Amino acid sequence: MTHVGARGLERRFGYTVVLADLELDVQAGEHVTITGPNGSGKTTLLRILIGLLRPTAGSVTILGGRPADPGARRKVGVIGHAPALYPRMSPTENLRFWGRMYDAPRAVDRGREVLERLGLDPRDPRPVGSFSQGMRQRVAVARALSTDPQVVIADEPLAALDPAGAVLVASMLGEGRTLLAATHDAEPFSNSRRLLLQEGRLR
Residue 143: give the domain boundaries.
2-202
Torsion on CA atoms 150, 113, 124, 104, rounded to nearest 10: 40
Q: Which residue has the higher pLDDT, 72 or 194?
A: 194
Q: How far apart are CA 30 and CA 32, in angstroms?
A: 6
Tell whether pTM > 0.85: yes
What digits encode the pLDDT tens for the residues 22-55? 999 999 999 999 999 999 999 999 999 999 999 9
Q: How far apart are CA 21 and CA 19, in angstroms?
A: 7
CATH code for the domain of 112: 3.40.50.300
Residue pair 4/151 in contact (Cβ under 8 Å)? The answer is yes
Q: What is the mean pLDDT of the chain?
A: 96
pLDDT at 193: 98
| The total number of structural domains that make up the chain | 1
E strand spans, the chain: 2-13, 16-27, 31-35, 57-62, 76-79, 151-155, 178-182, 193-198, 201-202
Residue 30: phi and psi, rounded to 5, are -80, 150
Beta bridge partner(s), residue 194: 33
What digits encode the pLDDT tens for the residues 127-139? 999 999 999 999 9
What digits encode the pLDDT tens for the residues 57-105? 999 999 999 998 988 889 999 999 888 999 999 999 999 999 999 999 9
